Amino acid sequence: MIWVDYVIVAIIVVSTLISLVKGFIQQVISLVSWLLAFFLALRFGPDLALQLGQYIALEPVRQAVAFFLIFIAVVFVGAIVGIFASKLISAVHLSLGDRLLGLIFGAARGVVIVLTITFFVGISPLVEEPWWNQSMLLSYSRELMVVVLGWMPENFSEILIQRLKSI
């Protein structure tokens, strides 16, 4: 194992421990809000960027600010909903089951984080670095990423790459 493998293990372990502490319901709401934030920012970012034209002159900066504003707003609302849901779970004494499910969910979320990083590194010049091919765990991550991309709409990765380049 090389340093990248240790980083991958750390990401999964930290995610698992956080979810164990916070519980399943709060973490599911958090994940859904992050995914929703990402997709809403991709979908409505260009529209908001047009509205910001009178305030921000540079197109790339305007696109980035629009994406960021939408993303942060959705994640913030999700965090508030998650806090209320967590308090409700505690009030009805379901915290042990919630935390055990959180443990499983946290491990899965850690894998999703690693896959996301793998995707973005995979479309960057970093794939030329020696560690990209030397990592034991990245090879599994790349294989799983191919499977996940197979579940996406046909041109998902092309649209995502195009949108990211326009930011």
Domain residue limits at 98: 3-166
Q: How far apart are CA 46 and CA 106, in angstroms?
A: 32
Q: How many domains are there within the chain?
A: 1
The pLDDT profile of the chain, 167 residues, written as one tens digit per residue, is 899 999 999 999 999 999 998 889 888 898 899 999 999 999 999 999 999 999 999 988 999 999 999 999 999 999 999 889 888 887 877 788 888 999 999 999 899 999 989 888 887 888 889 998 899 999 899 888 888 877 877 777 677 767 666 65
Q: For the whole model, what pTM was predicted?
A: 0.66
